[in-house]
Amino acid sequence: MSGITQVTKTGPRSYVPASGTVVLGGQFVEGRANGRIGTAAAGSLKVLGVALSDAQSPEGLATGSATTVVNGHPTTNFAQLPTVTAVAYSGAEVPVTYSAAATFGDALVCTADGKVAPAGATPDARTIVGKCTEPAGVALGAVGLVRIA
Is 140 part of any domain? yes
Q: What would the DSSP string read from start to end of the chain?
A: --------SSS-EEE-BPTT-EE-TT-EEEE-GGG-EEEPPTT-S-EEEEESS-EE-GGGPPPTT--EEETTEEE----PPPS-EEEE-TT-EEEEEBSS-B-TT-EEEE-GGG-EEE--SS--GGGEEEEE--TT-B-TT-EEEEEE-
pTM greater than 0.75 (yes/no): yes
Judge whether 6 lies within some domain. Answer: no
Q: How confident is the model at residue 77 (pLDDT cuts 50, 70, 90)?
A: low
**Does the residue 131 lie in any domain?**
yes
For residue 91, being part of any structural domain is answered with yes
38 lies in a domain? yes
Residue type, 22: V
Q: What's the pLDDT tens digit per position in 42-54? A: 999 999 999 999 9
Domain with 53, as residue range(s), is: 13-60+79-148
Percent of the chain with pLDDT over 90: 74
pLDDT in tens, 16-29: 999 999 999 999 99
Q: Is residue 70 assigned to a domain? A: no
pLDDT at 69: 72
Q: What is the pLDDT of residue 64?
A: 58
Q: Check residue 73 and give its pLDDT.
A: 77
Does residue 46 belong to any structural domain of this protein? Answer: yes
Residue 108 in any domain: the answer is yes
> How many independent structural domains does the chain possess?
1
CATH number of domain containing 140: 2.40.300.10
